[in-house]
Amino acid sequence: MSPTETTALDRETAYAICSHPHRRYLLSRLEPGERVPVSELVCELAARVRDESTETETLDSSVRRRVRIALAHDHLPRLDDHGVIEYLSRENDVVVTDAVDELGPPAIDLEG
């Protein structure tokens, strides 16, 4: 799906998309049309995960690895399937589509 295409998201789909804290963070962090390297998102999310855990900082590479795998195999493809982002796996980039606006603040601003 191209970054300019949008799809209509029903309320149930929007809440399902926003059900995981990683996806909520991505959607609140990214702007329509913005292109961001996945590595940058991995670092940001790993820092959030590390801050929320009681584990020591020596596990940073392990946290980054888990986040990278979760993004590549779950969160980014799921958001891409719904047309909210375009996941450019070959370039290892994410481009946010205008469909992110259809989720609206109530869905994205869920606590977590």
User: Within its chain, how far is the Cα of 77 from the centroid?
Assistant: 9
Q: Is the pLDDT of residue 102 over 90?
A: no
Band (pLDDT 50/70/90 cuts) for residue 112 is very low
Q: Is the pLDDT of residue 1 over 50?
A: no
Domains of the chain: 11-99 (1.10.10)
User: Which is it for the CA torsion 6, 7, 11, 12, positive or negative?
Assistant: negative
Segment 23-72, tens digit of pLDDT = 999 988 888 889 999 999 999 999 888 776 545 555 578 889 999 999 99
Greater pLDDT, 82 or 107: 82
Return the closest-CA partner of residue 99 out of 2, 1, 5. 5
Q: Is the pLDDT of residue 2 over 80?
A: no
Please, how many CA atoms are within 13 Å of residue 54, restricted to the half-sphere of its CB? 0
User: Within its chain, how far is the Cα of 105 from the centroid?
Assistant: 15
pTM to 2 decimals? Answer: 0.77
